[in-house]
Copies of this chain bind each other. A is one copy, B any other.
C-alpha cells in the first residue's frame, strides 16, 4: 500500500487476519501506518523510481490516498505491475472536472456544474443558477480544503486569481438545497463482483467529517436503493477495483453525487465494529480478487464519531476515563501527533437505541479531544 496514513494502518490491521503480507511505502518512518507494519519502505510516493522499486515484489499495489501521480501509475501498468484501482479509474477521484464530465455523460445524477476560468463565465453560471455558487478546485482538495461558497463575483475574484496563479482549474456548482449528506460505500473486484454497504448519513462541519450514522436514520427504502445503485453504477462505469465511497447529497427528489474516494474512507470506519466485513478487509479482498465479504450491519444502529485534535497534547489522558465510562466503546487511535483539528482517531458504538449511541459516541470523542471534562 502506498501512503502511510491511518487508512493504511487499519488496512494492515485487517490484513493480518487474511494472512496478507503487507508492504508499505510511507512518506515517513513514524507515520501512522509505519508504526505498526513490519515491512516498510520510506520514500517519496510521488517519485516513479521509488514507486517502481516498491512495486517490484508486490502482487498488487494499492493506495492509502488518491494523490499518487497517475502518469507514474500508467508507466507501472504498462510495465506489467498490477495497480488497483488503476490510473484510468483513479484519475476520476483526483480531478473533479474529469469526474463530473464522465458522470454527467453517463447520466449519473450530479449537481448542476460547469468549469469556470473567468469572472465572466462565473457570472453567466450564477445568472442561470443563482447565488451562492460553490467554487471547487478540480484537484488537491480534501477535508473541505479547495471548496468555497461564494455569494458574489467580488467574493470569487480571489479564488479565480489563485486558480490562474497555480494552474489548478475550477468548477462552479449550484448550491444544492440538500436535506443531508449521505455516503454509499461499495467494493468491486477485478472480476466484477460488487457489494454495497448500508447507506450512511454523514455529518460534516466546515468540510470535515465529524460523525457517521449507519444506516442513515429514516432513509426511505427508495432513496437507499437509489444511492446504492448509483454507487454501484459509478464503480462499474469507471472500472473501480477496491473500495469506493460515494459522497452524496440527499434532496427531496433523490440523490446527487458530490465526491468520490477510491479507497477505504472515513464514512466507512463504522464497518470495523459495525458490519460483518470491515471496509479495510473488503478493500484487500477486492484488490486481491478474493471473493467479497458480507457488508451486512451487525446491529440496528452504529455511530462513529471522529476524534479531532483539540487542546490536549495527547489522547491518553482521556483514554482511561472514556473506557471506564463506557465498556461498550470501541476506540481507534491512529498514533498521530495531536494537532488542532487533525483526525487522530475515532470511536464507535453499536446497539439498538440511536439516541443513547449518539450521546455515548459524541461524549467520548469530545472528552478525548479535551472539550468536556466529565
Stretch at the interface among A63-71, A164-172, A210-218, A328-336: A328-336
Q: Say yes or no: B36 contacts A291, CB within 8 Å.
A: no
Of B17, B37, B299, B319, which contacts A330 at CB under 8 A? B17
Which chain A residues (298-324) contact chain B, with CB distance < 8 Å? 298-299, 315-316, 319-320, 323-324
Q: Say yes or no: A333 contacts B18, CB within 8 Å.
A: yes
In angstroms, how far is the closest chain B Cβ from the Cβ of A288?
10
Q: Say yes or no: B13 contacts A327, CB within 8 Å.
A: no
Copies in the complex: 2
Of B13, B21, B290, B291, which contacts A16 at CB under 8 A? B13
Q: Number of contact residues on A: which range applies?
A: 35 or more
Chain B residues, Cβ within 8 Å of A16 = 9-10, 12-13, 36
User: Which of A16, A277, A335 has the most chain B CB atoms inside 10 A of its CB?
Assistant: A16
A35 at the interface (CB under 8 A from B): yes
Please measure, in the bound complex, the distance between the C-alpha atom of A354 and the C-alpha atom of B329, giving whole angstroms.
Answer: 28
Additional pairs, 14, CB under 8 Å, beyond known A18-B331, A293-B329: A9-B16, A12-B16, A13-B17, A19-B316, A19-B345, A22-B36, A35-B38, A38-B38, A276-B330, A277-B327, A285-B323, A290-B320, A294-B327, A298-B299
Q: Say yes or no: A328 contacts B298, CB within 8 Å.
A: no
